[in-house]
Structure 1
Amino acid sequence: MYKSKAYSAASATSPLASDTIPRREPTGRDVQIEILFCGVCHSDLHYARDEWHSVMPTVYPCVPGHEIVGRVTKVGSAVTKLKVGDLAGVGCLVDADLSCPHCKEGHEQFSPTQVMTYGSLDKHGTAPVTYGGYSESIVVDEHFALRIPANLNLAGVAPLLCAGITTYSPLRHWKVGPGQKVGIVGLGGLGHMGVKFARAFGAHVVVFTTSPGKKDDALRLGAHEVVLSRNADEMAKHAGTFDFILDAVSAPHDINAYLHQLKADGHLALVGAPEKPFEISSFALLFGRKSLSGSIIGGLAETQEMLDFCGEHNITSDVEIIPIQKINEAYERLLKGDVKYRFSLDMASLKAE
């Protein structure tokens, strides 16, 4: 066991502050990674403030962060996937027993034995729960470490480990491609990645937004058209024309308005998670044999596929790079939607602590 500098929250109302946490020494299958950048996800804020208490009670002190990019500093004797000096990433998962049907199919994100990067029981006993990427280093089983294309900007790569795979996976699963009309609802941390991927897949991309000021940015990111969803005439113009819609909004909204945008056999996939349940009109689905689903991150093989695709197409997240010392300010700005489009923590700033 060794000690690693980190930023942690001591309670639901405490600001994140400098701390020291234990990390295990690498076992035969482990890789140790020096963390260079860590993205800031809204899930980090929810967890730090115990806002998921009914489902996932926070154990304090907690160290958030599951969008991790770094460099391998040590490998176990049985590791074959990576070597010292390689760039590596860690997303939302750090372990699973890999023997369940989901794992065998490459869908570790559905495994009942999954161990999340933070907040899960630490099966190694190093700490009561797993600690995330707001820290100097992390140790994970090599299966859960990902290769990072060397040509990409590392600060922009970090959010790909959550926001990237969260949007890539449903677009791939529903076979989005050339000749299709695809809608992206919301232009935030998730939505802006959905635009980039849908465009790279060859689809005609339309962004739905409530903010007129986001039109230019949507076009810059790759959208062909922008629809102001509060404008009834604009919505009516596109009704019944979409093959696929990716809904990336976590605020309450009328899902039926977007189901009406689908053509027959069209599909809408949810990646945003509003706090209150949707009221869904059965008629919005019945007329046209439309379908609705949800999606969460992706398996390890698909995440590696996504990273390789990003390397080939030079795709990264649009980020604002900040030092770890500004994490509490970043959380407040995140609540206001004041970031384009993800924060990326420069973990070199932690060395000054």
Structure 2
Amino acid sequence: MGKATLFAAAMFLFMTLVSLSEGELDAHFYDLTCPQLETIVSETVRNASIHDPKVPARILRMFFHDCFIRGCDASILLDSTPKNQAEKDGPPNVSVRSFYVIDDAKAKLEKACPHTVSCADIIAIAARDVVAMSGGPYWNVLKGRKDGRVSKASETINLPAPTFNVSQLIQSFSKRGLGVKDMVTLSGGHTLGFSHCSSFEARLRNFSSLHDTDPSMNTEFAQGLRKTCPKPNKDPNAGQFLDSTASVFDNDYYKRLMVGKGVFGSDQALYGDYRTRWIVEAFARDQSLFFKEFTASMLKLGNGGVLENGEVRLNCRVVN
């Protein structure tokens, strides 16, 4: 084989590796360029969670809401401008908080390994960390995402709403390449969650012409929520945890659905529909099964819509 042929073969191999690194994610993507990455993100998230117990639920929700719009491209982190209202200011995202945690991690990473780690990868790692530190499963996050340059508040209409029925949920998740089992599994992320009254109070009064309260709700549970969310409600922060062990990642969420104590209509609907009831029952019986499926579905969600022509933002709030 001549030198020219060897050179051509070497260049072909090089270009193949480059294209793979750009289009595919890899758990070891930053091993050489930023070996401190996992430690920096984990310590940042843990310290923030110590000072604010709501951080884990907020970071997990941030990951979901980011990935559901344009794929996991950190578009939820971009600030609005005079000419554009960004995703974070869309109605479903007004209550998404703790962006400062990602900002803090990014600032530390820019000092440790400048211009290297994408904001999208930081969110994905942070979401895994809040699950694991709350007692849930740990998984190797695949990395190599790029950050998007587009963020539109109008697109947040595509996020699944707490009022959705199962058919609407299935349709919403299928747009992200996620099946019925993925949908029920990822809904279990509500085990780390809190909701303000506005997201479920329609279930508590004047629900229908036949029922004042949503009949799928446990009666005593509904009465308690009515006290938590009185009319008129003078406390804008009033609300309810989405399961009874809100700081622990476990399968209590599914157990509560089986006794009519789902807070959102979309949650309780999972137990009322034959297409999803069996999955709820399986996860309520077997927490290890839920953890296994949650890991698989998080990886599936996190790997969807990966950008090949994005950028690595220097500041997660603005495009370069």
Taking CA–CA contacts closer than 8 Å with sequence separation of 6 or more, which of the two structures ends up with the larger relative contact order?
A: 2
TM-score, shorter chain, exceeding 0.5 = no
Q: Which has the higher strand share?
A: 1
TM-score tier, shorter chain, comes to under 0.3
Larger radius of gyration: 2
**Normalised TM-score (structure 2):** 0.26
Higher helix share: 2
TM-score computed with the length of structure 1 as normaliser: 0.25
